[in-house]
């Protein structure tokens, strides 16, 4: 739809236009989408039966909304997508600082302009994408920033008294009249600033420094908050919380499948990287890392583990494979299990550690999380080595373990080409047969990656030794590896 041709108040009046508040506007368009069975939110997965119905009920109730949840739970993303429920264009009095509706002007500027020009008062149009304003609550935010203040320079230049409305400098909220206005991390907002929001939320108007003016604003407020902030940095004052219509609790995805959808949709890959094949087992492992982090004793559970962890880990893993292709001057092909360890720097910055975790070190914790992800995911694809050992059954892993016990060593380096990688894996006795027995549908590159996964899994279950090389990983017999380490220790 192009910008409407109407340019004056008279033309707008003849068109039959009627003012509608932003909350009624959101409600009207939501009802239309629900009747048409259209989705309101794109790229939001796992909230279909929990969070999204609560948002829809809040909009139908014309409520301001507080999203309460840990970091990386799509709070801001959902707030931004609410603009899709706005009308494509709305009319405003041209030049109005408060985006006055031509039929219901609220500012002195708009009223004076209409009084002067009447039906020829100029009208402009604002697109829905421009009707979104956002402010991160930080310690330096002031009442003047949010609400407004008297401008002495303006008063002096225009030779006006402080009793004149013209001397007011409006803050972000008044300038967001008829907008969706988001305040992120609400508990970080100082208590006196939260108090300044009381009138806006309850009566819909503002008061500036006791100035005798009441401006009825029309704003849809969305607030976001992290429960951690309630103890670490601040809190939402009770009267303000009482004035927010709906508090909606967000959560992390309840299944790996939803996590995969989020990661795939949010990962930023260029055209070349998109051509790199990522076997399903690696997509699963990336999500399992976040699951392990959320229950790890070394990670601060109150802080949460953002979905950004899996997104950046996925990007880093693909970049590790891409670097190998570039170094070997090979066509882009597929990602390997060992590429997962390239995600350690990405994981480091996405988890808050408790004291014990800080003592271990972020890199060690990240590597351990990858190991746990491999260990627990392995049991979904292959028999549990521990159970076989307890039952004293002939282990399905015996051929592989025996092959390594004959002083065989496999080094999978980061820079080796696909052919060398394949030759090494196929040379290991029993690996291909085990893979075919339990994962018969694996073909091509996926088959090779599953064979490598077997090695990593057996190492995590203490049937093989795995050690980090400068550029890669080494697998050998566990017993011989322990003897070698003991000999080195003895020499020291």
Output the 3-class SS for 143-159.
Answer: HHHHCEEECHHHHHHHC
pLDDT 10s digits, 396-452: 898 999 999 999 999 999 889 999 999 999 999 999 999 999 999 988 899 999 999
More confident call, 358 vs 394: 358
pLDDT given for residue 19 in this prediction:
94
pLDDT given for residue 486 in this prediction:
46
Alpha carbons 285 and 308: distance in angstroms, whole number = 15
**196 and 146 Cβ atoms separated by less than 8 Å:** yes
Q: Which of 483, 454, 478 is nearest to 402 (CA)?
A: 478
The yes-or-no verdict on residue 211 having pLDDT over 70 is: no
Last residue of a domain, one of 205, 232, 249: 249
**Do residue 340 and residue 472 come from a single domain?**
no
**Do residue 239 and residue 168 come from a single domain?**
yes
Q: Which of these ranges, 55-59, 100-104, 170-174, has the smallest mean pLDDT?
A: 170-174
Last residue of a domain, one of 359, 381, 403: 381
**Do residue 406 and residue 267 come from a single domain?**
no
Asked, for residue 1, whether it belongs to a domain, the answer is no
> Which structural domain range is residue 300 located in?
253-381
Alpha carbons 203 and 378: distance in angstroms, whole number = 58
The yes-or-no verdict on residue 12 having pLDDT over 90 is: yes
**Do residue 170 and residue 267 come from a single domain?**
no
Q: What is the largest CA-CA distance in the chain?
A: 97
Helices 431-438 & 398-405, crossing angle to 10 degrees?
160
Alpha carbons 40 and 23: distance in angstroms, whole number = 16
Tokens matching residue 156: 């002096």
**Do residue 272 and residue 229 come from a single domain?**
no
More confident call, 178 vs 238: 178
Asked, for residue 17, whether it belongs to a domain, the answer is yes
Asked, for residue 224, whether it belongs to a domain, the answer is yes
The yes-or-no verdict on residue 459 having pLDDT over 90 is: yes
The yes-or-no verdict on residue 152 having pLDDT over 70 is: no
Name the 3-class secondary structure at 460: helix
CA dihedral sign of residues 9, 12, 17, 20 = negative
Alpha carbons 159 and 136: distance in angstroms, whole number = 36
**Do residue 397 and residue 331 come from a single domain?**
no
**Do residue 322 and residue 396 come from a single domain?**
no
pLDDT given for residue 71 in this prediction:
86
pLDDT 10s digits, 277-333: 999 999 999 999 999 999 999 998 878 888 899 999 999 999 999 999 999 998 999
Last residue of a domain, one of 249, 275, 297: 249
The yes-or-no verdict on residue 181 having pLDDT over 60 is: yes
**17 and 103 Cβ atoms separated by less than 8 Å:** yes
91: β partners: 125
Alpha carbons 339 and 322: distance in angstroms, whole number = 10
The yes-or-no verdict on residue 391 having pLDDT over 80 is: no
**177 and 218 Cβ atoms separated by less than 8 Å:** yes
CATH number at residue 242: 3.40.50.300
Assign 42 a pLDDT band (cuts: 50, 70, 90): confident
The yes-or-no verdict on residue 210 having pLDDT over 80 is: no
* Mean pLDDT, residues 120-148 taken together: 91
- DSSP strand pairing (246-249 vs 215-216): unpaired
**Do residue 190 and residue 301 come from a single domain?**
no
Report the domain count for the chain: 3
Provide the mean pLDDT of the chain: 88
Asked, for residue 387, whether it belongs to a domain, the answer is no
**Do residue 118 and residue 178 come from a single domain?**
yes
pLDDT given for residue 116 in this prediction:
94
Asked, for residue 341, whether it belongs to a domain, the answer is yes
pLDDT 10s digits, 235-275: 888 899 999 999 999 999 889 999 999 999 999 999 999 99
Q: Which 8-state DSSP code applies to residue 84?
A: G
Asked, for residue 84, whether it belongs to a domain, the answer is yes
Assign 231 a pLDDT band (cuts: 50, 70, 90): very low
pLDDT given for residue 488 in this prediction:
47
Alpha carbons 447 and 334: distance in angstroms, whole number = 12
Alpha carbons 253 and 262: distance in angstroms, whole number = 9
Q: What is the pTM of this model?
A: 0.83
Assign 43 a pLDDT band (cuts: 50, 70, 90): confident
Name the 3-class secondary structure at 474: strand
Residues with Cβ < 8 Å from 121, sequence gap 6 or more?
A: 8, 9, 93, 94, 102, 113, 114
**420 and 412 Cβ atoms separated by less than 8 Å:** no
The yes-or-no verdict on residue 182 having pLDDT over 80 is: yes
Asked, for residue 148, whether it belongs to a domain, the answer is yes
**Do residue 241 and residue 263 come from a single domain?**
no
How far is residue 391 CA from its own chain's centroid? 45
Assign 168 a pLDDT band (cuts: 50, 70, 90): confident
**Do residue 239 and residue 271 come from a single domain?**
no
Alpha carbons 321 and 418: distance in angstroms, whole number = 11
Asked, for residue 402, whether it belongs to a domain, the answer is yes
Alpha carbons 74 and 67: distance in angstroms, whole number = 9
pLDDT given for residue 306 in this prediction:
86
Q: How many CB atoms lie within 10 A of CB 313?
A: 28
CATH number at residue 346: 1.10.8
Burial of 318 (0-12, 13-18, 19+ CB in 10 A): buried
Name the 3-class secondary structure at 66: strand
The yes-or-no verdict on residue 160 having pLDDT over 70 is: no
**Do residue 283 and residue 142 come from a single domain?**
no
* Helical segments of 216-341, H only: 229-232, 238-243, 256-266, 271-274, 280-295, 308-328
């Amino acid at each position: 739809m192009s910008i409407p041709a109407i340019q004056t108040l008279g033309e707008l009046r003849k068109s039959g236009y009627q003012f509608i508040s932003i909350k009624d506007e959101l409600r009207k368009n939501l009802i239309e989408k629900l009747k048409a069975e259209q989705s309101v939110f794109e790229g939001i997965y796992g909230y279909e039966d929990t969070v999204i119905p609560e948002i829809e009920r809040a909009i139908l109730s014309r409520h301001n909304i507080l999203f309460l949840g840990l970091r990386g739970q799509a709070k801001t993303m959902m707030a931004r997508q609410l603009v899709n429920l706005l009308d494509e264009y709305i009319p405003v009095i041209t030049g109005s600082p408060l985006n006055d509706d031509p039929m219901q002007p609220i500012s002195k500027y708009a009223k004076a302009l209409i009084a002067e020009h009447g039906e020829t008062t100029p009208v402009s149009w604002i697109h829905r994408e421009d009707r979104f304003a956002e402010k991160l609550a930080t310690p330096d935010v002031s009442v003047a920033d949010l609400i407004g203040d008297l401008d002495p320079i303006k008063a002096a230049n225009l030779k006006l008294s402080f009793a004149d409305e013209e001397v007011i400098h409006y803050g972000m909220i008044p300038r967001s009249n008829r907008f969706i206005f988001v305040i992120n991390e609400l508990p970080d907002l100082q208590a006196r600033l939260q108090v300044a929001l009381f009138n806006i939320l309850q009566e819909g108007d503002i008061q500036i420094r006791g100035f005798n003016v009441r401006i009825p604003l029309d704003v849809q407020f969305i607030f976001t908050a992290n429960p951690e902030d309630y103890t670490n940095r601040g809190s939402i004052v009770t009267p303000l919380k009482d004035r927010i219509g709906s508090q909606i609790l967000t959560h992390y995805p309840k299944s790996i499948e939803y996590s995969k959808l989020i990661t795939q949709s949010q990962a930023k890959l260029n055209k070349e990287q998109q051509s790199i094949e990522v076997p399903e087992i690696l997509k699963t492992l990336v999500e399992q890392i976040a699951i392990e982090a959320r229950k790890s004793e070394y990670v601060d559970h109150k802080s949460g583990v953002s979905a950004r962890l899996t997104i950046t880990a996925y990007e880093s893993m693909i970049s590790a494979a891409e670097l190998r292709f570039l170094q070997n001057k090979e066509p882009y092909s597929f990602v390997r299990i060992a590429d997962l360890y390239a995600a350690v720097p990405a994981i480091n910055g996405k988890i808050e550690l408790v004291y014990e975790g800080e003592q271990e070190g972020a890199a060690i914790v990240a590597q351990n999380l990858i190991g746990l992800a491999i260990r627990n995911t392995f049991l979904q694809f292959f028999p549990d080595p521990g159970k076989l050992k307890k039952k004293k059954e002939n282990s399905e892993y015996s051929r592989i373990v025996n092959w390594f016990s004959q002083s065989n060593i496999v080094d999978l380096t980061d820079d080796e080409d696909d052919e060398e990688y394949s030759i090494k894996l196929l040379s290991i006795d029993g690996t291909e047969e085990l893979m075919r027995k339990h994962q018969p549908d694996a073909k091509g590159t996926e088959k090779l990656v599953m064979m490598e996964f077997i090695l990593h899994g057996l190492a995590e279950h203490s049937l093989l030794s795995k050690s980090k090389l400068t550029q890669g990983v080494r697998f050998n017999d566990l017993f011989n590896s322990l003897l070698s380490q003991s000999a080195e220790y003895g020499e020291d």
